[in-house]
Amino acid sequence: MNKLLIVGTVAFDAIETPFGKTDKILGGAATYIGLSAANFKNVDSAIVSVIGDDFPQEYLDMLAAKSIDLSGLETVKGGKTFFWSGKYHNDMNTRDTLETQLNVLENFNPIVPEGYKDADVVMLGNLHPLVQLGVIEQMTKKPKLVVLDTMNFWMDCALKELKQVIAKVDVITINDEEARQLSGEYSLVKAARVISEMGPKYVVIKKGEHGALIFDKENVFFAPALPLEEVFDPTGAGDTFAGGFSGFIASTGDVSFDNMKKAIVHGSNLASFCVEKFGTERMENLSREEVSNRLLQFKALTQFEIELN
Amino acid sequence: MNKLLIVGTVAFDAIETPFGKTDKILGGAATYIGLSAANFKNVDSAIVSVIGDDFPQEYLDMLAAKSIDLSGLETVKGGKTFFWSGKYHNDMNTRDTLETQLNVLENFNPIVPEGYKDADVVMLGNLHPLVQLGVIEQMTKKPKLVVLDTMNFWMDCALKELKQVIAKVDVITINDEEARQLSGEYSLVKAARVISEMGPKYVVIKKGEHGALIFDKENVFFAPALPLEEVFDPTGAGDTFAGGFSGFIASTGDVSFDNMKKAIVHGSNLASFCVEKFGTERMENLSREEVSNRLLQFKALTQFEIELN
C-alpha cells in the first residue's frame, strides 16, 4: 500500500446555484480530495485538518467508512468549524463569496500523524501557504511527489509565503486566471513556463468546464471536461480533480509524464461526477462501475486515429 | 477527384489586435475556407462569391495558384468589395466591429459554375441565409455533405430564413454563444440536441481557444485547440476550421461519425496556424510538412492509454 497525505479544510458550506440552495452541508478541500482519492486501490489516505466540536459525528463516520485515516484531524473544544458560503452566477463559472468564517482555521497548527511522515504522495489542498509549508517540513522522508493546490486569495495576501511553498513542490494545480495572475503572462504556454521556473516540475492549469492542461519543460497534455447535460453545483470540482490526480499517482507510484497524463484524465473523470449533485452527495455514493464506464466515455470523447499524408 | 464548393465572402479586412494593426488586407470567409481546404489532396475546390473591381489581381493570382477555381467569383464593374474592420480586446476572445461596408454583397446573386452543380461537399460560409439557400437550390445532384457556417448576426435579423437553411444541411458549425442563442439552452449538450432537431445530423460547436465539439444523436467528440505561445490575430480562425473540416471530408468522401472526428482534428490543426500571423499570411505559406508535424503535436496533446480497474 502507498500512502497519500491530504492537507486542507474540512468545513461547512452553504451553496446557492441557479438550481437551488443548501443549508450548511459538508464541504472543504480535504473532504473532496479524500472522497475522490478513495476511488483508487492500493492507497492509504489520511487527512490533516482541524474542525470545531460543532462538526457532526455522522460526517466523521462517513469519511472513516471510506477508509480515510482521521488521526490528523484535530477537534478544537468549544471551537467552530470553518464555514464558507457562496452564490454561483448563471454561467456557473463565476461565483461570489457571501461569507467566510475562518473560526478554528485561524490558529491551525497542522500535525502530521507519525505513520504518514513517510507518505509517498502529499496533496496540499488550498490553505494558507504557511500551513502547507508546515506540513512539508514535518515529512521525515522525501515524498515521491508533493502536489500543491492554491488560489488567487493567497496571491493577493500572502504571495511571498506562497512562493516559498511553490519552490518546494513537484506539481502545482491552479486555474487559468490564477496562472495568469501568478506569472504575469496571458498565454497559458508562457504562464506555465514562468511558474515552472518558480520550482514545480509539472504545472497543471485547470480551466473548469474547458478541461485541464499539464505541462512539463518538453511536453503538454490536455484532458477535456466531460460535456454534461447539467452542472448542478461546481463546488469541490477542483478539489475532486486534485484528489483524483494525487490518488491515482499514489495508487501507481509512478511520477513519469506519461502517468501524469493518466492522472489528469482520472481527475477530470471524477470531477465530472462531483458537479452532478449538490456538495459531496455524488462523491459519497459512487460505484467503481460508474467510474469505469465514464472513463470509457472519456476515451470516446478524445481518442482518434489519424493518418499523416 | 472530389469536388468542394465553397460559398462565402471574399473581402477586405482591417484588423487591430494588441499586437498591431493592419490596413486593408485580404480577408473573407470563402478566402480562408479555400486556403485551408487547399491543404488536402484529391480535392478540386471552387469559390462562389462577389468582389468589386477594386480587388487586386495579385490576390486572385494567389488563390488561383492554390488551384482554387474562381469561375464562380463575380466581379461587379464599378463596385466596391465587401469591407470589414474590427478591433480585438486584450483577451483575443471578444472583438468590436468598427465598420462594415456591404458594398457589392448587398445585391449578390450567387451563381454556381456548371462544373460544380454536382459537388460532393458544399461548404456554406457565413453569408445571408438566403444566399446560402440559393446555392443549395442550384445543386443538380444531392451532395454527400452540406456544411453550414453562420453567426449570431443572422439569428438577430434573419432567423426565419436561417432556420430554412438549417433544415436543409447535414452539418452546422457555430460557436458556443451562438449555439446557446439559437437553442435557448445553456448546456451545450442540450443545445446540440435542440439544434440537431432543426435538421442537421451533425452539430459542431466551436469554442475558440477552448476547442471544438461535434455531436450526433449518439456520440460526442472533442478536439482541443493547440495551446499556443501567442495568438496574433484570430480573424479567419473559424473559417479556416470550416475549410479544414470540409476539405478533409471532400478529400476522403467519407461522412461517417468516425471521419467527422478526424475532420474536426484537421480543422483545429489548420486553425492553429491561421492565428499565428495577421490575416491570411500564415495560410498562404504553409507546407505539408508543417501541417503533418503539428498533427503529431495534436496526437501528443490528446492521446493516452488508460487501464480500467
Cβ–Cβ under 8 Å, residues A144 and A156: no
- Decide if A34 is inside a domain: yes
- B contacts of A225 (beta carbons < 8 Å): none
SS3 content of chain A, % helix, strand, coil (to 5): 40, 25, 35
Give me the mean pLDDT over the A44-55 stretch. 98
- A contacts of B266 (beta carbons < 8 Å): 306
| Residue B219 belongs to domain spanning | 2-301
Structure-block grid coordinates of residue B157:
435579423
Q: How far is CA A267 from CA A218, B12, B187, in A?
A: 22, 46, 22
Cβ–Cβ under 8 Å, residues A45 and A64: no
Nearest Cα neighbor of B225 from B242, B207, B240, B205 is B207
Q: Does B213 touch chain A (CB under 8 A)?
A: yes
- B contacts of A227 (beta carbons < 8 Å): 188-189, 213, 220, 222
| Confidence tier at A307 by pLDDT (50, 70, 90) | confident
- Decide if A216 is inside a domain: yes
- Decide if B111 is inside a domain: yes
- Decide if A308 is inside a domain: no
Round to the nearest angstrom and report the end-to-end CA distance of chain B.
47
- Residue A308 in this model has a pLDDT that exceeds 60: yes
**Model pLDDT for residues B95-143, shown as the tens digit of each residue:** 899 999 999 999 999 999 999 999 999 999 999 999 999 999 999 999 9
Dihedral sign of CA atoms B32, B35, B39, B42 in order? positive
- Decide if A309 is inside a domain: no
Cβ–Cβ under 8 Å, residues A198 and A166: yes
SS3 B114: helix
Structure-block grid coordinates of residue A90:
448563471
Give me the mean pLDDT over the B223-240 stretch. 94
Give me the mean pLDDT over the B213-240 stretch. 95
Q: Does B301 touch chain A (CB under 8 A)?
A: yes
Number of domains in chain B: 1
Locus of grid cell 503539428: B294
Residue B227 to chain A, least CA–CA distance (Å) = 6
Give me the mean pLDDT over the A64-70 stretch. 98
Q: Pairing relation of β-strands B121-124 and A73-76?
A: unpaired
CB pair distance less than 8 Å for A309 and B295 = no
* Confidence at residue B309, expressed as pLDDT on a 0 to 100 scale: 56
- Decide if B306 is inside a domain: no
Share of chain A above pLDDT 70, in %: 99
CA distance A174 to A148: 9
Q: B92 — phi, psi (to 5°)?
A: 70, 0
- Decide if B231 is inside a domain: yes
pTM (predicted TM-score):
0.94
Q: Does A305 touch chain B (CB under 8 A)?
A: yes
- Decide if A307 is inside a domain: no
Selected for mutation to probe chain B from A94, A203, A210 (highest B CB count within 10 Å) is A210
CA distance A141 to A131: 19
Nearest Cα neighbor of A30 from A122, A156, A106 is A122
Report ipTM for this prediction: 0.91
Residue B100 DSSP class: E
CA distance A110 to B213: 44
CATH number of the domain encompassing residue A231: 3.40.1190.20
